[in-house]
């Protein structure tokens, strides 16, 4: 599996393109639209989109037009799904449009949004939802079924949890049914489809070359542990006493997909969900749940509903939300993204049960019972440690044929992530250094790490010299996608008011605007302003009149009367020759001087490791000392004047090309 979802080849209709443009305009703003285009299209393919500097709506339409012309609409949508899932409204709208539904603002759309709103407003939603979607998979069986039969999800790097009855055809019948459950067929005929977010449906059995992206179970000993299903489960006549009929199967995959990055260029790994030893069922009545599922073998869906009660055996939880055949094995999660149940059945409709919120009841096995059962089975390697993602991008893009390797810059990346939280005490990151040290590369790196997630605006040296403060504020609105939402920028009424306007009126206006926007769309904030003041050596850097003063105020500097405006939703990245170039007096900040020495050999090995894994290797590259020595050799033979990071990046490109052609095996 290559980690990226196969992109379906199907026509995109004109109405869909119009809706996509509306989504880009409404949810991204100019800054992120430009980021998206930069990621997906070559500069020459931008067409008219490259010339839209003012109107974000026109830019969005031009962007979609350019993407459609280049046949890259689905590529762009996939990238947004991978990077911007934290923006849940964007995710919801994107999925709807790609499924062919219109964003026509009808009552159904509104009802859907109202129903999901409590989830979207959850403080942690953005963090867990993207990961949960990545770990859920459709499960298919080969002969004689040759079809998608259910759903599952990762609970370890190479472990998928699903229902016993999903795999029952591939399990060995036991005399009397009392002994341990055993595998009854080869694991290489069980297929797991991750990232199946949009149609078309994968074919089963999948073709080794072609559109289908999958991983199989290990051929032998694929069944780690399982418990039988309960006779009459979900029916009125179901037993009230359960011994260990928890209807689950834990399957080992042929590859540790949970440890692999979702994107070829590295970055966040797929991860897995942890099984809690305890869930709170007493205080859970009417608790909101979400079930991520592949109903009827369709692309991944989710529905939100409410917990209702325990069944008579106390081992099943009943909830009211929509599922269907094929949803078995789905993950039922609570509002904080914690596993609550393993979905397994519909509760057979009976008059006395009625409907809850207009929906029938469905049921899942309590996940704490499964966790305890697995714990008592004394399985090797169980429990699996909770997922911790320390993975980094090794390339600025996902193109293995033409990668842009990133050598080091771990400090910068860590700083970015730290400042990207609303509670960060520092609001500014300052990167300085000599020419060729990688200051401008920092902009690309910012886009790789935070692009597609956070609203952003990039200012280049010529813009610093010509943008009036008012024009700057107007552009903030356009670039952050706030058109139509921010009130009018306050006027400077008299000349003598200008200092007050710069230090109080304008910052207060922006603070209020960003505060409102962040309440509506928390995932995109803090937003970033990137101030790139890197000019060729010897050229002076000039600032437009009043811009520096405005920046100082926006950064939290106090005015003459010691008044200051706090904007916790705003972050700054300054790139230049020296921190003194910027209005940072008394501003809490993080500084990085790229002129200082760093462990270049270690950074080279780390990048190479990322590239190696992108080729679907899960092991580490052997003999780090040898590769460190190779790094030193590369630096020695690099032409004079070539920046060391650029030389090592070139070496990674060459080595990757060799590995791809088989030379590195």
Partner 1 sequence: MRTYDAGLLDLARSLLGKGGPLESSAGGDPIAEPALRDALARHAAGAAGAAPLEAKAAAAGAVGAARRALGRAGGGTGSGLSDDEVAGLEAIVQVLGRPAMRFRGGRVEMPPNALGDNARWQVLVATARSRINDVSAAVGRLSAVLDGGDGRAALGTAWRLGADLLVTNRHVAAALVADAKAPAAEWRLDPARKAQVDFAFTDDPPPPAGIGLAALVYCAPEQAVDLAVLRLAGGGAAPPPAAPALDWSGESLGRELPAAGGGGAARFQGTEVYVVGHPLHLRATGDTRSVFGAADGRKRCSPGFVTRVDAALPALEHDCSTLGGNSGSCVFSVDGHAVIGLHVGGRQADAETRTRAEANFAVALARLGEYAAARVLRGAADGAGV
With respect to partner 1, which residue has the nearer C-beta, 15 or 375?
Answer: 15
Q: How far is the CB of 348 from partner 1 (least distance, A)?
A: 5
Q: State yes or no: residue 101 binds partner 1 (CB under 8 A).
A: yes
The SS3 assignment for 180 reads coil
Please give the Cα distance from 312 to 87 (Å, whole number): 39
From 146, 186, 274, 598, residue interacting with partner 1 (rule: CB under 8 A): 146
- Check residue 219 for interaction with partner 1 (CB under 8 A): no
Indicate the residue among 291 and 652 with the shorter CB distance to partner 1.
291
Q: Judged by CB under 8 A, which stretch of 29-37, 109-117, 292-300, 417-425 contacts partner 1?
A: 292-300
Stated length of the chain: 665
Chain positions 344 to 403 lying near partner 1, rule: CB under 8 A, are 344-348, 362
DSSP classification of residue 490? P
Candidates 93-101, 122-130, 173-181, 508-516: pick the segment binding partner 1 (CB under 8 A).
Answer: 93-101
Tell me whether residue 223 or residue 476 sits nearer to partner 1 (CB atom).
223
Q: Taking CB under 8 A as the rule, does residue 581 contact partner 1?
A: no
Nearer to partner 1, 299 or 392 (CB): 299
Name the percent of the chain in helix, strand, coil, to the closest 5.
35, 20, 45
Range in contact with partner 1 (rule: CB under 8 A) among 96-104, 128-136, 372-380, 587-595: 96-104
Q: Tell me: does residue 305 bind partner 1 (CB under 8 A).
A: no
Q: Is 497 in the site for partner 1 (CB under 8 A)?
A: no
| Residue 658 φ/ψ, nearest 5 degrees | -65, -45
Alpha-carbon separation of residue 239 from 126, 247, 563, 591, 653 (angstroms): 40, 14, 70, 65, 62
**Using rule CB under 8 A, residue 235 touches partner 1:** yes
CB of 99 to partner 1, least distance (A): 5
Nearest partner of 278 among 344, 342, 340, judged by Cα: 340
Please, what is the minimum distance in Å from the beta carbon of residue 61 to partner 1? 20
Query: Contacting partner 1 (CB under 8 A), which of 212, 245, 299, 308?
Result: 299
d(CA 656, CA 662): 10
The kind and range of the H/E element at 562 are: none
Spatial separation of the C-alpha atoms in residues 624 and 601, rounded to whole Å: 10
- The tokens describing 654, both together, are 């060459």
Q: How far is the CB of 257 from partner 1 (least distance, A)?
A: 22
* CB-CB neighbours of 386 under 10 Å: 9
Closest CA to 155 of 294, 334, 276, 290: 276
Residue selected from 343, 366, 439, 606 as contacting partner 1 according to rule CB under 8 A: 343
Contact between 205 and partner 1 per CB under 8 A: yes
Piece of the chain touching partner 1 by CB under 8 A; list 118-126, 164-172, 248-256, 275-283: 164-172
Minimum separation from the CB atom of position 103 to partner 1 (A): 10
User: Which stretch, 159-167, 471-479, 497-505, 589-597, contacts partner 1 (CB under 8 A)?
Assistant: 159-167
CA distances from 546 to 300, 430, 470, 471, 583 (A): 51, 21, 10, 11, 11
Q: Which of 7, 45, 298, 579 binds partner 1 (CB under 8 A)?
A: 298
Please tell me the count of residues contacting partner 1 according to CB under 8 A. 52
User: Can residue 10 be called a binding residue for partner 1 (CB under 8 A)?
Assistant: yes
**DSSP state string for 380-407:** TT-SPPPP-----BSBSSS-TTS--B--
Q: Tell me the CB-side half-sphere exposure of residue 66, using CA atoms within 13 A.
A: 25
Contact between 149 and partner 1 (CB under 8 A)? yes
DSSP string, 240-251: S--SS---EEEE
How far is 381 from 256, CA to CA, in rounded Å? 14
Q: Which residues, at least 6 apart from 322, have a Cβ–Cβ distance to it below 8 Å?
A: 295, 303, 305, 359
Q: Does 165 bind partner 1 (CB under 8 A)?
A: yes
Measured from the CB atom, is 144 or 662 closer to partner 1? 144
Rounded to a whole number of angstroms, the minimum distance from the CB of residue 209 to partner 1 is 14
Give the residue with the Cβ less far from partner 1, 185 or 523.
Answer: 185
Which one of 144-152, 214-222, 408-416, 646-654 is the stretch in contact with partner 1 (CB under 8 A)? 144-152
Between 325 and 632, CB nearer to partner 1: 325
What residues contact residue 59 under an 8 Å CB cut-off, 6+ apart?
A: 25, 30, 33, 34, 49, 52
- β partners of residue 141: 147, 190
Instruction: Report how far residue 431's alpha carbon sits from residue 576's, in angstroms, rounded to the nearest whole number.
Output: 7
What are the strands, taking DSSP E only, across 395-466? Answer: 428-432, 456-459
Cβ of residue 7: shortest distance to partner 1, in angstroms? Answer: 13
Which residue in 327, 395, 442, 503 binds partner 1 (CB under 8 A)? 327
Backbone angles phi, psi at 77, to 5 degrees: -65, -40
Our finding on whether 141 is near partner 1 (CB under 8 A) is yes
Site for partner 1 contains 166 (CB under 8 A): yes
Residues that bind partner 1 (CB under 8 A): 8, 10-11, 13, 15, 99-102, 141, 143-150, 163, 165-166, 168-169, 199-201, 203, 205, 229, 233-235, 295-299, 301, 323-329, 343-348, 362
């Amino acid at each position: 599996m290559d980690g990226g979802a196969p992109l379906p080849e199907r026509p995109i209709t004109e109405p869909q393109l119009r809706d996509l443009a509306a989504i880009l305009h409404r949810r991204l703003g100019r800054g992120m639209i430009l980021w998206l285009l930069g990621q997906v299209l070559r500069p020459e393919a931008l067409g008219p989109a490259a010339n839209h500097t003012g109107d974000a709506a026109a830019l969005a339409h031009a962007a979609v037009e350019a993407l459609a012309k280049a046949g890259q609409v689905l590529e762009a949508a996939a990238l947004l799904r991978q990077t911007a899932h934290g923006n849940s409204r964007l995710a919801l709208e994107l999925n709807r449009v790609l499924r062919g539904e219109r964003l026509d603002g009808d009552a159904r759309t509104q009802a859907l949004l109202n129903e999901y709103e409590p989830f979207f407003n959850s403080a942690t939603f953005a963090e867990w939802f993207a990961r949960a979607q990545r770990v859920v998979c459709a499960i298919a069986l080969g002969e004689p079924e040759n079809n998608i039969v259910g759903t599952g999800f990762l609970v370890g790097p190479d472990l998928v949890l699903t229902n016993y009855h999903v795999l029952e055809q591939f399990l060995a019948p036991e005399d009397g049914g009392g002994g341990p459950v055993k595998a009854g067929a080869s694991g290489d005929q069980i297929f797991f489809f991750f990232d199946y977010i949009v149609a078309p449906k994968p074919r089963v059995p999948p073709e080794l070359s072609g559109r289908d992206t999958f991983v199989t179970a290990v051929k032998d000993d694929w069944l780690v542990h399982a418990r039988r299903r309960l006779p009459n489960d979900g029916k009125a006549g179901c037993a009230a006493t359960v011994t260990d009929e928890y209807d689950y199967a834990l399957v080992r995959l042929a590859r540790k997909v949970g440890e692999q990055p979702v994107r070829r260029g590295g970055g966040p790994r797929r991860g897995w969900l942890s099984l809690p030893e305890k869930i709170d069922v007493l205080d859970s009545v009417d608790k909101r749940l979400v079930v991520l599922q592949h109903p009827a073998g369709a692309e991944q869906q989710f529905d939100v509903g409410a917990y209702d009660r325990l069944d008579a055996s106390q081992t099943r939880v009943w909830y009211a939300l929509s599922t269907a055949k094929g949803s078995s094995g789905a993950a039922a999660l609570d509002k904080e993204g914690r596993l609550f149940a393993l979905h397994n059945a519909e509760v057979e409709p009976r008059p006395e049960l009625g409907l809850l919120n207009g929906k029938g009841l469905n049921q899942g096995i309590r996940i704490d019972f499964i966790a305890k059962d697995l714990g008592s089975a004394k399985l090797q390697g169980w429990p699996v440690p909770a997922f911790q993602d320390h993975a980094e991008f090794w390339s600025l893009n996902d193109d293995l044929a033409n990668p842009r390797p990133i050598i080091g810059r771990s400090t910068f990346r860590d700083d970015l992530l730290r400042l990207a939280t609303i509670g960060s005490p520092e609001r500014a990151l300052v990167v300085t250094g000599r020419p060729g040290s990688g200051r401008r590369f920092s902009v690309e790196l910012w886009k790789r790490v935070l692009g597609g997630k956070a609203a952003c605006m990039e200012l280049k040296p010529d813009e610093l010299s010509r943008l009036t403060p008012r024009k700057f504020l107007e552009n903030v609105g356009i670039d952050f996608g706030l058109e139509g939402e921010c009130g009018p920028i306050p006027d400077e009424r008299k000349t003598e008011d200008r200092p007050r306007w710069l230090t109080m009126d304008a910052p207060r206006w922006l603070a209020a605007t960003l505060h409102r926007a962040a309440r509506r769309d928390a995932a995109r904030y803090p937003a970033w302003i990137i101030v790139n003041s890197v000019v060729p050596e010897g050229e002076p850097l000039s600032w437009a009149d009043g811009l520096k003063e405005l920046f100082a105020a926006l950064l939290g500097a106090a005015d003459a009367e010691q008044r200051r405006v706090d904007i916790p939703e705003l972050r700054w990245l300054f790139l230049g020759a020296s921190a003194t170039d910027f209005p940072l007096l008394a501003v809490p900040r993080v500084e990085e001087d790229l002129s200082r020495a760093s462990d270049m050999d270690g950074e080279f090995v780390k990048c190479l490791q990322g590239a190696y894994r992108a080729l679907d290797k899960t092991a580490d590259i052997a003999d780090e000392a040898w590769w460190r020595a190779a790094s030193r050799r590369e630096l020695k033979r690099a032409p004079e004047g070539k920046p060391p990071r650029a030389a090592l990046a070139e070496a990674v490109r060459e080595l990757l090309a060799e590995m791809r052609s088989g030379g590195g095996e």
